[in-house]
Every structure is written in C-alpha cells, then in structure tokens.
Amino acid sequence: MQLSTAANSSANAQHSPELFAFCDLPTLIAISAMERPASIAIVDGERRVDYATLNGKVDQVAATLQRTGLHPQETIAICASSSYEYLVVFLGALRAGVAVAPLAPSATPTQIMNMVRDCGARILFLDESVSEAISSKQIVTPMNVASIRLDAFEETSALDRWLLSAGATPSQLEIDPSWPFNIIYSSGTTGTPKGIVQSHHMRWLQVQYMPHYLYTSSTITVVATPLYSNTTMTTLLPTLAYGGCVVLMPKFEATAYLELAQKERATHGMLVPVQYQRIMALKNFGEFDLNSFVAKFCTSAPLSAAIKADIVARWPGALVEFYGMTEGGGTCMLHANAHPTKLHTVGKPIEGHDIRLIDETGFEVGRGEIGEVVGRSGAMMLGYFNQHKKTSETEWFDAQGNKFIRTGDVGRFDEDGFLILLDRRKDMIISGGFNVYPSDLEAVLLQHPAVLETAVVGVPSPEWGETPVAFVVARSGEDIASETLREWVNAQVGKTQRLNVLRFVPELPRSAIGKVLKRELRDEWIENSRERTQ
C-alpha cells in the first residue's frame, strides 16, 4: 500500500498523528509498520502480532474485499467476540474504504439479521457461537449477503480460505474524511436499534485529542469491553493510531483483568462502571502491581462518586471520566484526581465542545437550572442510517442555526461549570405532579453499607400517577429487611421522593456494555402487578 502525501512526508519522523490535517487509521498503521515493524501491535491470548504482520494482513483483507467487488462507502458487518481476526477484518475494510457495522453477538438472531439488512452489508463475518445461534433459529441469511467464519472450525478458517494469498496488496485509495468509518447500532433497549453513522473525520478528531492522555508508541491498552461498542473505540483506535499495543480480553472477569494488566504492564484502559465496581470490590486488589498505569477511562454509564474516590486513592494513574453519546455532539470530561470535590459530576465540556441545557419547549435554561443536555462539536454523527426522521428528532438548533445533538439526559451546571447529571429524561418520575429523579434516591441507597447496587424506576400509581420502586442488590454477608431499608431511605428524603416499595434482587439486568436495563425492571413490575390483580 502506498502512503498518502502527508504520511510520506512524516515517514522518517517520530510517529505523531497530531501533526497531520487528516490521516486515516490504516495509513497510520502502515507508518508504524515502516518505522517499527517488529513492535507488537496486538496481543490475543498467546498470539503476539507485530506491526509488519498486522499491516500485511490488513492489506490482504483490503485486496480481497476489492477483488470481491466491494466499493468505497459500501458496508460489511462483523458479529463476533473480540479477536485478532476481528480487528484485521475491521482494519482491512477501512483500508478499502468500506464501512464496518460491528454488531453485538448478544443480540437475538432476528435482530442480527435485521441489522445486516438495514446497513446493507455485503458480507457478514461471524464466529462459531453466532453462527450456531442463527442456525438454531433457522434464520436464513439474505441471498445477497455472504457469511464468512472468522474462527477455525476445520484445519483452516473460512477467513483464511477467502483471503487472497499472503503479500496481496490493494489498489491505492485516498480515504475521503467524510466517508463512513463505521455504523454502530444503538442497544435497542428502547426499541429498534438505530445505525449511528460515524465518519473518518469524526474518528480522526478523537485520535488527535489523545496526546492529552499520553498516548504514545509505548502505550499498552487492555481492551476488556466488546469491539462493537463505541466505548471500546475511544481507546482502541488511538492506541493503534499512535503505534501502541492492544491487548485483547474477550471475556471480562475482575481478577483476570488485573492479572492481565499486571502481566502486560498496561498503561491505559477503558472500563464501564460495573467493571470498576467489581474490580474495586476484590479483597486482594492491593496485591496487584498496577504502577504501570498512566490513565484509566470510564464512560457508558454513571460512575458513582464513592467508586471514583476509591479508584483515585488505590489505583495508580489518572482516572478520566467521559460523558457523551455515540451519536457525538458535546463531550464532558472529569479529571477525577485533579478535582476530588467534583466526583459527583461528569466534569466540564472539553475544548471546542459546546454543551447547553434546554427545557421541554426547546428554550435554553440558566446556570443552575435543570434541563435536557444538548451538545455540539466537530465530532458528530452523520446521522442514523436510512432513518432521516429519527435523525431530525435528535437534533436541536440554537438561535443562530447551529445544530446540536439531544442526549435525552437531564442535568444542571454547578457554579463552577461542572455538569451534574440527574437522569435520563425518560426515566424521570412524575409523582403527584412533582419531578422525582431516580439518581437522587439511588445515591442515598448506595450510602447504606448493605447496598451493593441499586436501580430506582417509576411505576404506575392510581393515586400519584407514578411512584418510585427500588431494586437492590445486597452486599455479600449483609442482612437487612427490605422494609427496614426502605424506611431508612424515606427518613432521609423529601416527602415526594419516598420509595413506595423496595425489593431485593440477586442482580440487575444489564446490557452487554454494562448499562442497567431499567425498562426491563419496569416492564417486569407492571406485568407482575397485572398478575396480582387478576
């Protein structure tokens, strides 16, 4: 593969992506292969793949896609667990100018095929578990979509048989920054998943910002979140862009994560709140050597102030929390170590990002007032794939005509400009005409030593319209009656906030990325209520 003019001019310089006006990720990988061919790019179990090998394999995939007849801006889909093969196909598609739709293996076979059809994928790359799930439901892959297994189910994998021979190189291609990089589907917890189209330009802007967090060619990032998640992309892509090493962990387990981080001398990592919670709860946490860490990140769901404080106190390296949406728009950032009194917030808008709050009629609210969070920046989605109406519904325009993305989150800014999130707008409870924010009740519950996790939802009430119900996971070894805990909470909150019911559960329902599925709790409660009244 020939490098672009910008890349050629820097081939003999220190690998520094922020020097370029724009440079696509596959080209940056090619630069690393030229400058440091023996440096390790990917660790997948016992496999350690250097940049020269990775770059050659990416070329193979790109050349094969071109031979197959895929053109720039067409799409492939990948539905599999994390692996070296997954990354090779993803990066090879990008080198061919082809967009990637990474799909969640946890989706139902019907949902997977619906997403394949929706994004117009020409090829579906999948692994054994996904293939068997689709076969078991007798769901037929569309006739115009080829299916290729990534893992070996015979002596060689279907991927190896599909690929052109080693050494194959693709036709030279100049990536247009406006071309789609990926189509990431929303979780679908509130309806049909929507395909969020992100451009090469958007991903480039994210990569450029990462020198602030000391990403270099010495970076070693443990990836323990799924490759189909935008959460993962925010740390995986800059690691490869700067010539660092990605260590894959296909299945997260708290102790195993610490063992892997210690073994590989990890410098960076992105974890979601439930993963941090499980790690920090380990009694032997202090026995692991984590001094190699430079920065740790968190996003995807709120991380409690107590856990943030614990991480800052006991885990070396900076803790940085990001707040934003896969759709893009505005992003807030909290440097937890630098702001120990602001751990209840998600930080301030990062440079170049405009975050505002609006009321239900679309007018901006003042500092200290509560409103829906809307954001604007250079890093915004192109739109929802083939869903113009849904795209327009998520847009808000200020008086000057500038476009913002609506988040659906409710919050307020404090006196120092830090954003305090209250709740999802759809999760807010209106009880007797008063707004009740579940996060306020959850924060009180988490102060009790018997409470490990909790979620508060609003359920229908003939007297109040809606009323709060708490679902609680108790800490191991703790024993307290649900009514006792409910009375303890209600003694500390306002009259309109009082819990109607508190129920202990063995675990909270979560998405694959760790978000609590409050809709499932609410629906189950309503269904059980119907059964009790029949």
If asked whether residues 362 and 452 sit together in one domain, one would say: no
- C-alpha 320: how far from its chain's center? 15
Say what the pLDDT of residue 45 is: 95
Decide if pLDDT at 67 tops 50: yes
Do residues 62 and 152 both lie within one domain?
Answer: yes
CB atoms within 10 A of CB 167: 9
Give the CATH number for residue 390. Answer: 2.30.38.10
| Residues 379 and 454 grouped into a single domain | no
Same domain, 440 and 415: no
Question: Is 289 among the domain residues?
Answer: no
Q: Give pLDDT, residue 325.
A: 81
User: What pLDDT does residue 254 have?
Assistant: 96
Q: Point out the domain boundary residue: 395, 423, 451.
A: 423
Q: What's the pLDDT at 532?
A: 62
Is residue 246 in some structural domain?
yes
Q: Strand 75-79 to strand 99-102: parallel, antiparallel, or no bridges (unpaired)?
A: parallel
Residues 406 and 446 in one domain: no
What count of other Cβ atoms lies within 10 Å of the Cβ of residue 154? 9
Same domain, 328 and 472: no
Please, which residues bridge with residue 474 across strands?
A: 451
Is there a domain that residue 298 lies in? no
Residues 472 and 408 in one domain: no
Least confident residue range of 12-21, 281-290, 360-369, 423-432 = 12-21
pTM confidence score: 0.82
Question: 392's torsion region: left (phi>0), alpha (psi -120 to 50) or beta?
Answer: alpha
Last residue of a domain, one of 196, 227, 251: 251
Mean pLDDT of 263-278: 94
pLDDT, mean of residues 170-191 = 84
One-character DSSP codes across 177-226: TTSEEEEEEP--TTSS--EEEEEHHHHHHHHHHGGGGT--TT-EEEE-S-
48 within some domain: yes
Q: Nearest CA to 182 among 77, 264, 100? A: 100
> What pLDDT does residue 154 have?
54
Quick check: is 284 in a domain?
Answer: no
Report DSSP state, residue 105.
Answer: T
Instruction: Please state whether 241 falls in left (phi above 0), alpha (psi between -120 and 50) or beta.
Output: alpha
pLDDT at 189: 45
User: What is the C-alpha to C-alpha distance for residues 100 and 518, in angstroms, rounded to an integer?
Assistant: 30
- The pLDDT confidence band at residue 377, using thresholds 50, 70 and 90, is confident
Q: Are 474 and 452 in contact (CB under 8 A)?
A: yes
Report the distance separating Cα 198 and Cα 99, nearest Å: 9
Provide the residue range defining the domain that includes 94. 5-251
Residue 1 clears pLDDT 50, i.e. is over it: no
Mean of per-residue pLDDT scores for the chain: 88
Q: What's the CA gap between 148 and 157, in Å, rounded?
A: 9
Q: Indicate the burial class of 392 (C-beta count within 10 angstroms; 0-12, 13-18, 19 or more).
A: exposed
What is d(CA 187, CA 521) in angstroms, rounded to the nearest whole number? 16
Work out how many domains the chain is built from and give that number.
3
Cα–Cα distance between 30 and 34 in angstroms, integer? 6
Q: Are residues 398 and 446 in the same domain?
A: no
The reported pLDDT for the residue numbered 501 is: 93
Measure the CA angle with vertex 99, ends 351 and 68; round to 5°: 160
pLDDT at residue number 17: 54
- Of 372, 373, 338, 370, which is closest to residue 354 (Cα–Cα)? 373
pLDDT of residue 531: 63
Please tell me the predicted confidence (pLDDT) of residue 512.
73
109 has a pLDDT exceeding 50 = yes
Contact yes or no for 86/78 (Cβ under 8 A): yes
Residues near 278 by beta carbon (within 8 Å), at least 6 away in sequence: 254
Q: Which two tokens stand for residue 230?
A: 């935008």
How many whole angstroms separate alpha carbon 173 and alpha carbon 456? 52
Q: Burial-class residue 226 by CB neighbours within 10 Å (0-12, 13-18, 19+).
A: buried
Is residue 257 situated within a structural domain?
no
Task: Give residue-wise pLDDT tens across range 18-61.
Answer: 545 789 999 999 999 999 999 999 999 999 999 999 999 999 99
Domain final position from 423, 444, 459: 423
Looking at the domain assignment, is residue 519 inside a domain?
yes
Q: Which of 207, 184, 208, 209 shows the shortest CA–CA distance to 194?
A: 184
Q: Is residue 62 domain-shared with residue 169, that is, in the same domain?
A: yes
Instruction: Mark whether 133 and 227 lie in a shared domain.
Output: yes
Q: What average pLDDT does range 421-438 have in this prediction?
A: 80
* SS3 (DSSP) at 346: coil
Q: Is the pLDDT of residue 197 over 50?
A: yes
Residue 378: inside a domain: yes
CATH code, domain carrying 142: 3.40.50.12780
Residue 9 pLDDT greater than 80, yes or no: no
Indicate which CATH number applies to the domain containing 506: 3.30.300.30
pLDDT of the residue at 400: 93
Which phi and psi (to 5°) does residue 43 adopt? -115, 120
Same domain, 412 and 471: no
Query: Are the beta carbons of 103 and 185 closer than 8 angstroms?
Result: yes
User: In the beta sheet, which residues pair with residue 298?
Assistant: 271, 321
Residues 402 and 456 occupy one common structural domain: no
Per-residue pLDDT tens over the stretch 328-357: 788 899 999 999 999 999 999 988 899 999
